Amino acid sequence: MEQKLEAIRAAATQAISSAPSIDELESIRVKVLGRKGELTAILRTLGELSPEERSRVGQKSNQIKAELEAVLESRKADLLDSRINETLKEEWLDVTLASAGASRAFEPGRLHPLSQIQYEIENIFTSMGFTVLDGPEVETDYYNFEALNIPAHHPARDMQDTFWTEDGNLLRTHTSAIQVRGMERLKPPFRVIGPGRVFRYEATDASHENTFYQVEGMMVDRDISVADLIYFMKVLLKEIFGREVAIRLRPGYFPFVEPGFELDIHCLICDGKGCSVCKQSGWVELLPCGLVHPNVLRYGKIDPDKWSGFAFGLGMNRLIMMRYGINDIRHFQSGDIRFLRQF
């Protein structure tokens, strides 16, 4: 696997260095680093490796990704400089138009904060041996409910204000459906995360939206305990915030975990004094979590007598709100350029 990574690095570096245009450069980026690229394909197979290999290959993949991104940016800058120089040679330039030109200055775009933090979270988890999975936003009843130990007429379905389609499918209410699909094709032990957009038919306020983002996480191995769950959550939060963050676990009921918990984070908007985001409590509900229910393992064709695991569903919007001091979740979907320019 590491030899394959080195081959990808060498071939991509050579192709980038000789790329004749920015369009060709973009094609190389998509081929190697895109969601269906060569490097991403390797990351998606980490679950098939041993824990030691998974960690080593994950770290090397992230290192190569960072190197190639730097080479891409350098080559892009060279191509832009070359284009400008050719333009100056061929076209007459009226220097008296400098002030007017400045008013029409090109402003480059930027990634949405949700994308920025999603990529950061993916890097954190892949460095710890996790594989990044994906799944459809329009789901079946089986993957969104039944295989998560929520059969028809289960009262927990009332907690999920669901958008149903005319053909009986639905807009997924959580990224937990990704873990079910992952269990169908992965053999334990494995570690996976599944970031994505989810939908709830509910009223909006400062901390609730009808369209938001989650990161599902799951680890299946032998003798997994709540201590393993807390460890990985603390590592994630320390990496995201750059320091230790106060958390608390409260008992919570979720049909797909037993025991189940609500993991809350000390409100960083008001420093625990009380605000509209934390509903004056000083704490923000960040993620439901717990040990995977034996029935869920059985749906995934995994023997619960031999294997155990933990699972969590991280609310990405609320995490970003805590990191940047955003006091209203509705800013993310607003399309307000003034909001996006801050990132």
Q: Render 129-140 in DSSP notation, one character per residue.
A: TPEE----SEE-
What mean pLDDT do residues 125-153 have? 92
Most distant pair of Cα atoms in the chain: their distance: 79
Question: For residue 188, what pLDDT is reported?
Answer: 93
307 three-state secondary structure: coil
> Which of the two residues, 79 and 301, has the higher pLDDT score?
301
Torsion of CA 70, 343, 198, 216, to 10 degrees: 50
Which amino acid, one-letter code, is at 168?
G
- C-alpha–C-alpha distance, residues 79 and 168, integer Å: 51
Whether pLDDT at 92 is above 80: no
Where is average pLDDT lowest: 7-11, 105-109, 221-225? 105-109
**Does residue 98 have a pLDDT over 60?**
no
User: So what's the pLDDT on residue 88?
Assistant: 63
Report pLDDT for 68. Answer: 85
Band of residue 135 on the pLDDT scale cut at 50, 70, 90? very high
Distance CA 292, CA 259 (A): 8
> Which tokens sit at 132?
């990044």
Classified as helix, coil or strand, 69 is: helix
283-292 vs 257-266, strand pairing mode: antiparallel
Question: What region does 325 belong to: left with phi over 0, alpha with psi -120 to 50, or beta?
Answer: left
The predicted model gives 265-294 an average pLDDT of: 88
Give the per-residue pLDDT at 52: 81
Distance CA 198, CA 245 (A): 26
pLDDT at 93 over 70: no
What is the pLDDT averaged over residues 32-42?
81
CB-CB contact of 179 with 143 (8 Å): no
Q: Residue 86 corresponds to which amino acid? A: E
Report the b/e string of 19-34 with b at 16+ CB within 10 A. beeeeebeebbebbbe
Helix axis angle, 2-17 relative to 22-33, nearest 10°?
170
Domain 113-340 architecture: 2-Layer Sandwich (3.30)
Query: At 89, is the pLDDT very low, low, confident or very high (cuts 50, 70, 90)?
Result: low
The larger pLDDT score, comparing residue 34 to residue 100, is at 34
The rounded percent of the chain whose pLDDT value lies above 90 is 40
**Mean pLDDT on 207-234:** 93
Asked whether the beta carbons of 290 and 311 are under 8 A apart, the reply is yes
pLDDT computed for residue 317 by the predictor: 92
Residue 312, helix vs strand vs coil: strand
- Counting every residue written for the chain, the total comes to 343
3-state secondary structure of 123: helix
Name 46's Cβ contacts closer than 8 Å, sequence gap at least 6.
Answer: 54, 57, 58, 126, 129, 130, 131
Report whether the peptide linkage leading into residue 155 is cis, meaning its omega lies within 30 degrees of zero: no
**Cβ contacts of residue 261 below 8 Å, gap of 6+?**
226, 249, 250, 251, 252, 288, 289, 290
Q: Look up residue 316 and give its amino acid.
A: M
Q: Which pLDDT belongs to residue 101? A: 46
pLDDT at 104: 58
Q: Worst-scoring range by mean pLDDT, 98-107, 193-202, 299-308?
A: 98-107
Q: Give me the sheet containing 190-199, strands edge to edge.
A: 131-132, 190-199, 211-221, 308-315, 283-292, 257-266, 247-251
Confidence class for position 35, pLDDT limits 50, 70, 90: confident
**338 pLDDT tier (thresholds 50, 70, 90):** confident
65 Cα distance to chain centroid: 17
As a whole number, mean pLDDT of residues 202-209 equals 84
Lowest mean pLDDT among 60-69, 89-98, 201-210, 320-329: 89-98
DSSP 8-state class, residue 188: S
39-48, 82-91, 141-150: least confidently modelled range: 82-91
> Which pLDDT does position 286 carry in this prediction?
83
Q: What average pLDDT is seen over the chain? A: 86
